[in-house]
Amino acid sequence: MSEEKRLHPISAVINFVKALREALIPIVVLIFLNQGERNSFLDYLPFIGMGVFMIIILFLGILKWWRFTYRVEEGELRIEYGLFVKKKRYIPFERIQSLNYSEGIFHRPLKLVKIKVETAGTSNSLESEAELTAITKEEANELNSFISKAKKKIKERIEVDEDGVPIEEESEQEEEVEGKILYKMSAKDLVIMATTSGGAGVVISGLLIFLSQFSEFIPYETVMDEFMDVVQSGILIVAVTVFIVLFFAWLIAVAMTFIRYASFTVKLVDKDLVITRGLLEKKQTTIPLNRIQGIRFNQNLLREPFKYAAVTIESAGGSALEKDSNTIRLLPMIRSSEAPRILEEILPEYEWSTDFTGAPKRSIFRYMFWNLLFISFIIAPVSYFFYPYGLLSLLLYPLLAGLSWLQYKSAGYRLSEDQLTVQFRVFDKQIVYMKKKRIQSLELKETWFQRKGRVATLSATIKSYIAGSVNTVNHLDVKDVEKVMEWYQPETAPRAAKQAEALPEE
């Protein structure tokens, strides 16, 4: 596979559309400012300039496609690109962690895919190591298979030819591994996920924000007068109206969930997880198991009573522009009791027990006090300046007291020989499973008020993108936190004693 190859010509169109999208706001502003009658040739100059600009963008897209070539040679993926200055990028196979596939609206009719090359150093950059905008699925699978085999041969130190192609007998050719399907979301799961994710609220909020941009043009007084007339005509009409609004918001949330998570499938292929999802744009993400830093269970207030949870992977690597590259949805919607069965096949070395050591009873006051004190700084001015309607904000006290109780009940930890599991809550309940070797740092925090109550805060950081993922459990018994800190300390003293015993006497 050492011959030089180009991307599919549709890449030129994709480059054109991408550049056009970035210039969309100036184009819309230009059209808006040039509305009205046109009496002379000069009035058409802005639109002529816009047409010339689009032709230039299209030409540059074609030139960019023509200048971009790739090939596999001498154990490297070699890419040459650049509009006016020729650039070269050589990526050794051993650095490549995964090839992530995606299929957009331009790819699927032509059976093409976009490939993003992720490496071990991608986590410190703002983009993927390399991107092949559009190649055929056959070429993508061939490239993926070739790189995988070459990496295995490099590890095994098998001889390769001058082009980096592993030397092997034809009879030893391996068939492509299909992988084992561990999980596949059903339509029912997608509906439940959309219903319990708060997506309808996001849709309504987005609509209100959109309408607020046109506040000068909307006759709010007339609308409110009409609304009051409707209210006076009957509560039933108001209730039906509210129901219709919520129903359509729910339908939009379900549609958005289907577009993003349709055909969601998790496969285990050798030592990699392969996640496929998407309706309009089909995406395939590959996660090497050795990049997994921790597993997170997340239950929001709607899903918790029904025992549903979302399971995510905290992964080392991935680019900053890829939202799903470091915190990856492994199981977007699943019953909490069913998740360990799937996870045991992926990470058999982990323990999935939820037998936690909780916070002491004396911590209840601290959860209540600090939360209620914080909300008081909001309730007091709202009640004063918006009296008497502002007094409705006093209802936040019992709501926050209930949340504080849930935070206390959720706080806890569990230790084993090589694993720390923590459970905590801000609004959503979270359980994080971390291996000792994956923990970047542990921290014990103890304020003056905590010291009086003999409690402390435990924070565990695991690698996830650049800054890391910090998992904090507040107001645990200080002896429990000290126990965890001792567990994390390197066993230098015992090893030194054993080495001293092993030395021969003079």
pLDDT in tens, 214-237: 445 455 556 555 555 655 556 666
- Cα first-last separation, the chain: 64
Select the more confidently predicted residue: 96 or 503: 96
Q: Say how many C-beta atoms besides its own lie within 10 A of residue 491's C-beta.
A: 8
Q: CA-to-CA distance for 363 and 475, rounded, in angstroms?
A: 6
What's the whole-number mean pLDDT along residues 118-133? 67
User: Using CA atoms in the order 278, 283, 287, 292, what is the torsion angle rounded to 10 degrees?
Assistant: -50
Asked if 176 and 238 count as a contact pair (C-beta separation under 8 A), the reply is no
Asked if 445 and 455 count as a contact pair (C-beta separation under 8 A), the reply is no
pLDDT in tens, 51-79: 888 888 888 889 888 989 988 887 788 88
User: Is the model's pLDDT at 419 over the cut of 60?
Assistant: yes
Domain range summary for the chain, segments of one domain joined by +: 5-176, 187-261, 265-359+411-488, 361-407
Select the more confidently predicted residue: 199 or 169: 199
pLDDT in tens, 6-55: 899 998 888 888 888 877 777 777 776 666 666 676 767 777 878 888 88
Element (H, E) at 227: helix 220-233
Phi-psi region of 455 (alpha: psi -120 to 50; beta: other; left: phi over 0): beta
- Strand, helix or coil at 125? coil
pLDDT in tens, 309-358: 999 998 876 544 444 444 688 999 999 999 999 999 999 999 998 899 99
Q: How far, in Å, are 100, 289, 459 from residue 433 at the CA level?
A: 26, 15, 13
The per-residue pLDDT for 221 is: 55
The per-residue pLDDT for 147 is: 79
Sequence letter at residue 494: P
User: Is the model's pLDDT at 170 over the cut of 90?
Assistant: no
User: Is the model's pLDDT at 359 over the cut of 80?
Assistant: yes
Distance, CA of 271 to chain centre: 21
Cα–Cα nearest to 441, from 488, 493, 477 = 488
3-state per-residue secondary structure call for 15-32:
HHHHHHHHCHHHHHHHHH
What's the whole-number mean pLDDT along residues 427-447? 93
Which are the contacts of 245, defined by CB distance < 8 A and separation ≥ 6?
204
Select the more confidently predicted residue: 191 or 327: 191
pLDDT in tens, 455-475: 999 999 998 755 678 999 999
Average pLDDT, the chain: 80
The per-residue pLDDT for 197 is: 79
What's the whole-number mean pLDDT along residues 126-148? 80
The per-residue pLDDT for 309 is: 93
Q: CA-to-CA distance for 311 and 314, rounded, in angstroms?
A: 10
- Strand, helix or coil at 262? coil
Select the more confidently predicted residue: 77 or 171: 77
Q: How many residues can be counted in the chain?
A: 506
Pairing state between β 112-119 and 412-415: unpaired
Select the more confidently predicted residue: 504 or 194: 194
Overall pTM > 0.85: no
3-state per-residue secondary structure call for 306-366:
HCEEEEEEEECCCCCCCCCCCEEEEEEEEECCCHHHHHHHHCCCCCCCCCCEECCHHHHHH
